[in-house]
Structure 1
Amino acid sequence: MRRFARGVVIVWVALRYGLDELVLTSFQKPWLRALGRMISVGRNLDAPRGQRLREALERLGPIFVKFGQVLSTRRDLLPPDIADELAWLQDRVPPFDSAVAIATIERAFRRPVNEIFEQFDATPVASASIAQVHFATLRDPHGGIREVAVKVLRPGMRSVIDKDLELMAMMAGWVERASADGKRLKPRQVVAEFDKYLHDELDLVREAANAAQLRRNMAELDMLLIPEMFWDLCHEEVIVMERMKGVPIAQLDRLRAAGVDIPKLARDGVTIFFTQVFRDGFFHADMHPGNIQVSLAPETFGRYISLDFGIVGTLTESDKEYLAQNFAAFFRRDYKRVAELHLESGWVPEGTRVDELEGAIRTVCEPYFDRPLKEISLGMVLMRLFQTSRRFHVEIQPQLVLLQKTLLNIEGLGRQLDPELDLWHTAKPFLEKWMADQIGPRKLWEQLRAEAPRYAKLLPQLPRLLHDYLEQRPADHRREVRELLEAQKRTNRLLQAIVYGGMGFVLGLLVMQFVVRVRLF
C-alpha cells in the first residue's frame, strides 16, 4: 500500500504540473490529444514548461532531481528552454533551514558550532539533492586560519529514498516479467546498482574516503584539483573539506575572459575520464557541470576542480581489459573484433554469427567517424546500439550503467566546451598506450614488484619444501598405485558380474523358449 500511495503521489504531481502535456500533445492520435485537453482542465499552467518540469522533479525528491541533473547535460536531446531550466537542479536546489544544518553539525560533533569553527556562514552557498554546503573557517595547529567548506546531509533523506527505490524495484519486477526484452535489460539488477550507489551517497564519510582516493590517484596528472578532507571533522551526516575557489565550468564567458584555453580544457576532460576509468578503475560518476569548476589561481591556472564524490564507479581488471579492447578495436574500425569480444564475454547467446553482429555494429558506428562532436549525438549512437543489442539478445551489464551515465555527462560537457572536439581521436592515443602498458615489459615488472614481498618470504623455504616433497613422494606414489589397483579390481568384478548376468539372462530366455516349443508340439 505504501508503494501504491507513492505511485499515486507521482502521478498526481505529474498531472499537477502539467507534465502530461509534454508527452500527450506530441502524439498525433486524436483521442490522445483529447485526453490531454481533458486532463488540463482546471489547472494553472501559465508557467513555462521547463519551469514546471523542474519544480515537479524537485517536489518528487532526490532520485528525480538526479534524473533531471543527467538530462540537463544533454542539450542535443532537449529543447533549449527545458535544458536551461533543468540546469538549475545541478547546484541550486532550494536549501533547507540553516538552523537544521547547525543542529545537525552540533549533534554530529557534540560541540557548539562556535567552538568548532572560527567563523561559520549560516547562509548556504550551494544546495543539491542530497546535501547543502556552508563556508566556514578553522584555526589550524600552527595558529593559521584555513578556509573550509562544510557539507551537511539533508534531513530525512534515507526514508524518502527508500520509498522511491522500493517503488522502482517493484516496477522493475513488472518490466522483467512483462517480456523477454525486459529480462535481457536486467531492470532489477540495475535498480539494485542504483540503490547501492544512492545509499553510499548518504554516508558522507564514504564520500570523504572517495575524495581522498581520487586525490591520490590524480596527484601526478596536474589536470585536476580535489579538496583535502579534515578527518577529525568527518561524520556520516557532516564532512569538512578544503574550500576550493574556481569558476563554474558552465560560465564559459568568464573563463574565456580570464584567458583559459577552452579547447585544451575539453581535451583534458577526456584525458581525466579515461585515466580514471582505464588506469585506476575508480572514477567520479557524477560529473555534471554543477560539480565541476576551473581554477584561475596563478599556480593552478586552467585546472579542473572536482566536487561532490558521493557517487563513484569501480571496474575490475577484467572489466577494464574488456572495455579497453572494445574501444581500441572500435577506434581501429575493427568491428569483427568488437563482435568477437561480445561473444567471448558471454554477453551474446552462443550460436550468434560473428559476421552478422559485425555488420550490424558497422552499420551503427561507421557514419559517425571523422566528425566533430557537434555533429555526433552519443545518445543517438547508444540508442542505435541498444536497438542492435535487442536484435541479437545482448545482455545489459548492470556494473557498466554508471560508466554509460558518466560517458554521457562527459559528452555533454565536451559539447559545451568545444563542439569541434573529436572525442574518438582524443581518446585513441591514450587507449593504445594503456593497452601497450598492459601487455608490455613495464606491466610485467610492476607485477613482479607487487609480488616481491611474497616471493621474498617463500624463497628461503623452497629447499626445505622441495626436500619434503621428494621424501614424501615415494610413499604417496605407492599409495596412489594401491588405490588404482583396488579400483581396477572393483571395476573388473563389476564387469564380470554384468557379463555373467547378461549371459544368464540370455540363457534363461533360450530355455524358456525351448520349453514353450516342447509344450506346443
Structure 2
Amino acid sequence: MTALQSFSGFNSLSASLNLSVRRFATLWRLGRAFVRESHLFDDGAAMTRVARFFASHGARAAPLAAGVPALSQLSRVLENASGALARHPALAETAVRVALAEMDGLFTPYDAARFRTACAAAFPATLAFELTHLSDAPLRSGVAEQTHTARIGDTTVRITLLRADACAELADDLDLALAAARFAERRSAKAREMHPAEWVQRARESVDSMIDLRQRAADQSYLRFRLRDDDRLAVPEVLWDYCNDSVLTTRAIETAALADATALAACGLDQADVVATLIEAFFEMSLGVGLYHAGLDAAGARVSIERDTRGQIVLEADNPMMLFAAHEREFLVGVSHALMEGDHKAAARAHLEHGRPEAHATHHEVRVEATYRREAERFASPHARRNVGVADLFGAIGKAPAEHMFSAAHARIASRAVLLSRSAERIERVAQEIAPDVDVWKIARKVIVRLVADQFSLRSLAVHLAHEATHWPHTLPRLPSLIAKRAAASQRVRGTVCR
C-alpha cells in the first residue's frame, strides 16, 4: 500500500512538473509574441495578432474546450473594438463585455444529468428540496455559466449555475496572459507603449464582474424595486434562499422572442408596438436610470406572454447588466441633446467639466470644441440625420472623450458610449427588419428632450439639494476656518504683488 501511494505521489509530482514546464514555455512564447508584434505594428492590429497567437497555442495542455484556451475569443474581442483600443485601453472594458456577452458560451455545456449533480453540490446541504422538470438543454450559455428551467415545488424557476472548472480555466488563462504581458513590457519599450498588461487586467476585471452571481442577484433585486411601477418591463423575482456564489435562481416567466411575430400575434400582441416599447425603454433605462441591460438588446429580447405581464419586455438576471454613474448619465443626456441642437459649445463645456489638461489648456480646449463642432454638423438637422443612425450619435459622443481623454472620467464615458452605440446599432437593424415603420430617431429624440427638461425641473433641483444637504453637517462647521484660510492666502498674494 505504501509503495502504491509513493507511486501515485510520484505521478502527481511528475504531472505537476510537466504542467509547470508547459506553462513556462507558453509564457515565454506569448511574451516574445507581445514583443515581436509590438515592433511590427503601431495600431490595434498588433494586439489582435498577439491574441490570435494566444488562442492558437493554448495556455494549458488539456483545457476544457478541445485544445483551445478559455480566452480563445480574445482576438474577436480586440477586432470588435478596432484600432481605437490601441490608443485608448480604457475601451477594453466594453470590448470584452460585448464580445463575451455575444458568445453562446466558452465551454461545452453540461447535459441535464451533470447539471443536476452540479446543482446538488452547489446548494447548501441544509436546503432540502426536489429539483424537477429540468430542461434537457440550457436556455442560455454565458461566460463559464449556463441557465436551465426547472421546478422547485410548484414554482417554475430559472437556475444559472457558475461552473467551477470553467472559472478555474478562466483564472488560469488570464493569470498567464497577464504574466506574459508584464514580461513583454519589461523586455520592450515598444511593448510598453501598447499597454498589454493594462488590456489584460481590464479583461480580467470585466470577466470577474460578469460572473459575480451574488452581485447580479443584488442588481436584479434593485432593478425589480426600481421598475415596480413600470408596466413596460417585467423583472423576475430573485429567490434568495436558492442563491449563493455558484447559483442564481429566479422565478421563470413564460416568454416569446421579439422576432417571433406568429407567437406574439397568437397572444394578441402587435410586433411593431412591442418594438417601439423596447426602443423607448432602452433609451429611458440607459440615459434616464443609468443602467445598461442586455435584455433590451433587440436581437435577444423576449416578451412575456403570461396573463399578468403580457406584452412586457422581460429582463432576466442571467443577462449582463451595467450601472452608469450619475455624472456619466448626465453627460450622455446633455451632450446628445447638444449635438442634436447643433450646440457644440455646450457639448464642449460638458466635456471640460469632467477634466481639463494640465498644460496648453487653451490649445486643447479649442481642439475639443472643434471635435464637437464636427460631430454636431452630422446631427443638427433632419436632413443631416437622414444618413446616420442613433448608433452614430452615441459613437460621436464617445469619440471626443476618447480623443481628448484628460481624466479617468473621460475614459469611462467613452467606454459607456461605445457600449450604447453597439446596442443601438442592433436595435436599429432589428427595427428595420421587422418594423420598418418605427422611427427610432423620433423615439430617441423624444426621450432625450424629456430627460434634458427633467434635469432642470423643480423635482430635479430638489433631488440635487437633498443630495448636497447630506454634506452640510460636515462642511458648515469647517466654513469659518475655510474662509480664514482663503483670506490669508489672498493677503499673501496681495503682499507679494505690492512688493
The structural deviation recorded for 1:390 is 7.1
Give the equivalent residue in structure 2 for 1:436: 453
Give the equivalent residue in structure 2 for 1:358: 369
- Are the structure 2 counterparts of residues 383 and 216 from structure 1 closer, same or farther at C-alpha, using a change threshold of 3 Å? closer
Aligned residue among 240, 244, 251 for 1:231: 240
The structural deviation recorded for 1:343 is 2.7
Give the equivalent residue in structure 1 for 2:388: 376
RMSD of aligned C-alpha atoms? 5.0
Matching of residue 399 in structure 1 with residue 412 in structure 2: yes
Give the equivalent residue in structure 1 for 2:5: none
Give the equivalent residue in structure 1 for 2:151: 137
Could you tell which deviates more after superposition, 216-225 or 277-286? 277-286
Counterparts of 2:301 and 2:74, CA distance in 1: 18
The structural deviation recorded for 1:412 is 0.7
CA contact (8 A) 2:336 2:393 kept: no
Matching of residue 283 in structure 1 with residue 292 in structure 2: yes
The structural deviation recorded for 1:408 is 0.9
Counterparts of 2:319 and 2:341, CA distance in 1: 36
The structural deviation recorded for 1:329 is 0.9
Unaligned runs of 5+ in 2: 1-21, 34-44, 46-64, 81-99, 493-499
- Are the structure 2 counterparts of residues 249 and 161 from structure 1 closer, same or farther at C-alpha, using a change threshold of 3 Å? farther
Pairing 1:414-429 to 2, within 5 Å after superposition = 414-418=428-432, 420=436, 422-429=439-446
The structural deviation recorded for 1:333 is 1.7
Could you tell which deviates more after superposition, 199-208 or 88-97? 88-97
The structural deviation recorded for 1:234 is 0.6
Tell me which amino acid in the other structure corresponds to 2:171. D
C-alpha distance after superposition, 1:121-152 (max 9, x if no partner): 4543433333112222122xxxxx11112211
C-alpha distance after superposition, 1:11-59 (max 9, x if no partner): 99xxxxxxxxxxx9xxxxxxxxxxxxxxxxxxxxxxxxxxxxxxx9994
The structural deviation recorded for 1:342 is 2.2
Aligned residue among 341, 353, 358 for 1:344: 353
Matching of residue 5 in structure 1 with residue 19 in structure 2: no
CA contact (8 A) 2:178 2:197 kept: yes
Could you tell which deviates more after superposition, 298-307 or 357-366? 357-366
TM score, norm. by length of structure 1: 0.61
Tell me which amino acid in the other structure corresponds to 1:399. R
Counterparts of 2:439 and 2:394, CA distance in 1: 17
Tell me which amino acid in the other structure corresponds to 2:151. T
The structural deviation recorded for 1:231 is 0.8
Counterparts of 1:390 and 1:451, CA distance in 2: 30
C-alpha distance after superposition, 1:164-221 (max 9, x if no partner): 43455467766996389857xxx76565444333213323222211111111112222
Give the equivalent residue in structure 2 for 1:178: 190
Give the equivalent residue in structure 2 for 1:116: 130
Aligned residue among 117, 131, 148 for 2:157: 148
Pairing 1:456-495 to 2, within 5 Å after superposition = none
Matching of residue 313 in structure 1 with residue 334 in structure 2: no
Give the equivalent residue in structure 2 for 1:445: 462
Matching of residue 165 in structure 1 with residue 182 in structure 2: no
Counterparts of 1:131 and 1:373, CA distance in 2: 41
Counterparts of 2:421 and 2:165, CA distance in 1: 31
Counterparts of 1:112 and 1:371, CA distance in 2: 66
Tell me which amino acid in the other structure corresponds to 2:288. R
- Are the structure 2 counterparts of residues 377 and 159 from structure 1 closer, same or farther at C-alpha, using a change threshold of 3 Å? farther
Give the equivalent residue in structure 1 for 2:273: 264
SS of 2:423's partner is helix
TM score, norm. by length of structure 2: 0.63
Give the equivalent residue in structure 1 for 2:283: 274
Counterparts of 2:206 and 2:458, CA distance in 1: 37
Computing the radius of gyration over CA atoms, which structure comes out larger, 1 or 2? 1
SS of 2:109's partner is coil
- Are the structure 2 counterparts of residues 135 and 236 from structure 1 closer, same or farther at C-alpha, using a change threshold of 3 Å? same
CA contact (8 A) 1:210 1:309 kept: no
Unaligned runs of 5+ in 1: 13-23, 25-55, 72-85, 140-144, 466-472, 489-521
Matched pairs, number? 402
CA contact (8 A) 1:104 1:237 kept: no
